[in-house]
Chain A
């Protein structure tokens, strides 16, 4: 009772500060809370898991029995995957895979660069009509891309680029701009004005401020948006349907999968393997880059 307790150190105090979520969680972290989280996670994963299992089962088994029976009677085959890569009169997904890649990369890099420039202009340069332009660009998000299809296609025809990747690159880049500018603008505003001022005092013009001050700080945000855009373009169907029309040379993998679903709607064995091939890249991209992703979003939310 009369022992002298040492004063709590600074580090102790800091270490014991929980976040709102942690506190909420502490109460919720009764077994019920963990159970709820696990239930949700399981529910979310089952459908995809079912597809994965199905893609390795023989065709006759898929058509007559549910994938859960796999565990009672495992019969594994790689035939489905072989078929979607060209064997057995299936489809050759490899070509479409390359197309998707070729479509995606510029469709990510181009809007990112253009939007960065534009967002920078809005964030740190003063010019007339700035507010009007910003609201206008932001409001363009409401334009559903459906309405742009025919008019833009006609323009593409006039300049003779249909049937090439250019239609897709230009279309995807244009559609991404409003949201990209909005998001990047938010992040850019977070950069402390002091840094900009200091650079100005040093005699830097807008271009070097952009490259030396902005870009390094902005990397998480760029990564975040880049990933989103990559996923969006990789998974797009409508733009491909309309602008890649007229050839398998430019058709991406979603189009191939949709065709597979249409013509061979009952070819479940092909569908399952095909679907898995089409989601392989986005899933890997996400898993590898999710840190940047979260960091990027985090960077925009931290205020002071």
Chain B
């Protein structure tokens, strides 16, 4: 059961076996929990329920996290202690500074634009006749893997030289040519290329924002809306004073979730430009340094940087959670 399966039936059997094993483990936990009756033993039930979770998280996230922080103070091979040298590199090396610049662009533009478009669209199609269909269209990119999305947009951004017998095969360049311009090597021109890659991410994430915000909008209590309507407010005021404040917690959740996700994504950059032409971001750089340049120390430092960048976002999120708990 713990070896490599090679044929399809084998794989399926392995999967079923694993699920049954897991069910058995759950069964044991529940069985024991059931035996612990009464208020006195309540907290043991709590601990028991959390046992597998805490175990997995400690081994799978906490331990590696601590180890990475430790490794970031060592050199490429992980042997010699170099203090904060790796961090110095990140903040002084020209190429690394470009990486930081790009990452900032990504983390600022993606959440706000994706959320903005998602919110707008959610309002526009709410309660319309084709609402389901309309929303499915925007959500579609979300179900596509980043790699597939990169392939799709490669088709969009493709460049062919401006020569007599050569036609454009990328839509963007074709439009440029139709409008009388010359084709541009879109993915080579910096910083245009970074913005074009960000567009791919916005294209993907808007669906998520739209779905979550749509649910939140539908949950706005009708009385408030009715009262405002009776007061005769126009659409813009309604939007500004009623809609947005009511869904503010959801907007925060969406912004922060997209923000955190954007920080971690490297597939788009890796697939479309390989991180060349000044498009690399911290997550991609981490992969390059750790797995290609074999520089464990610098890779670890970049990962820690990712950590640090995410903290304010998550802290804000936690504050919101605490505030909503207090309600």
Which positions in A face B, CB cutoff 8 Å?
17-28, 33-34, 36-37, 40-41, 44-48, 50-51, 54, 62-69, 95, 98-99, 102, 105-106, 109-110, 113-115, 117-118, 120-122, 125-128, 130, 133, 135, 137-152, 155, 160-161, 163-166, 169-171, 173-175, 177-178, 181-182, 205-208, 210, 231, 234-238, 247, 249-250, 254, 257-258, 261, 268, 271-272, 275, 278-279, 282-283, 285-287, 290, 293-294, 297-298, 301-303
Does A40 lie within 8 Å of B4, measured CB to CB? Answer: no
Residues of A within 8 A of B34 (CB): 205, 207-208
**A285–B307 Cα gap in the complex (Å)?**
33
Residues of A within 8 A of B214 (CB): 294
Does A144 lie within 8 Å of B318, measured CB to CB? Answer: no
B123 interface residue per 8 A CB criterion: yes
Most chain A CB within 10 A, of B53, B135, B235, is at: B53
Question: Which A-B residue pairs are the 10 nearest by beta carbons?
Answer: A27-B235, A235-B145, A174-B60, A127-B43, A21-B126, A151-B64, A282-B143, A125-B46, A148-B64, A127-B46
Pick from A105, A161, A173, A249: contact of B56, CB under 8 Å: A173
Pick from A23, A109, A161, A302: contact of B225, CB under 8 Å: A23
**A142–B313 Cα gap in the complex (Å)?**
9
Which positions in B face A, CB cutoff 8 Å?
2-6, 8, 11-12, 14-15, 18-19, 22, 26, 29-30, 33-34, 36-37, 42-43, 45-47, 49-50, 52-54, 56-57, 59-65, 67-68, 117, 120-128, 132, 134-148, 150-156, 167-171, 174, 203, 206, 211-212, 214-220, 222-226, 228-229, 234-236, 238-239, 242-243, 246, 250, 260, 263-264, 266-267, 271, 283, 286-287, 290, 296, 300, 303-304, 306-307, 310-311, 313-314, 318, 321
Does A50 lie within 8 Å of B43, measured CB to CB? Answer: no
Residues of B within 8 A of A26 (CB): 235
Does B4 lie within 8 Å of A163, measured CB to CB? Answer: yes
Does A17 lie within 8 Å of B226, measured CB to CB? Answer: yes
Q: A18-B225, A275-B148, A278-B148 are in contact. Are A238 and B266 (CB under 8 A)?
A: yes
Does B212 lie within 8 Å of A297, measured CB to CB? Answer: yes
**A34–B145 Cα gap in the complex (Å)?**
30
Q: A36-B124, A45-B140 are in contact. Are A144 and B310 (CB under 8 A)?
A: yes
Does A279 lie within 8 Å of B144, measured CB to CB? Answer: yes
Does B151 lie within 8 Å of A51, measured CB to CB? Answer: yes
Residues of B within 8 A of A33 (CB): 124
Does B246 lie within 8 Å of A20, measured CB to CB? Answer: yes
Does B2 lie within 8 Å of A144, measured CB to CB? Answer: no
Q: A22-B127, A118-B53 are in contact. Are A47 and B60 (CB under 8 A)?
A: no
Does A161 lie within 8 Å of B2, measured CB to CB? Answer: yes
Does A247 lie within 8 Å of B22, measured CB to CB? Answer: no
Q: How many interface contacts (CB-CB < 8 Å) are there between A and B?
A: 380
**26 chain-A/chain-B pairs, Cβ below 8 angstroms:** A17-B223, A18-B229, A23-B238, A28-B124, A37-B128, A40-B121, A51-B151, A65-B169, A106-B15, A121-B49, A125-B49, A138-B318, A142-B260, A147-B64, A149-B64, A149-B290, A152-B60, A165-B18, A166-B2, A206-B45, A235-B146, A283-B144, A286-B136, A294-B211, A294-B214, A301-B250
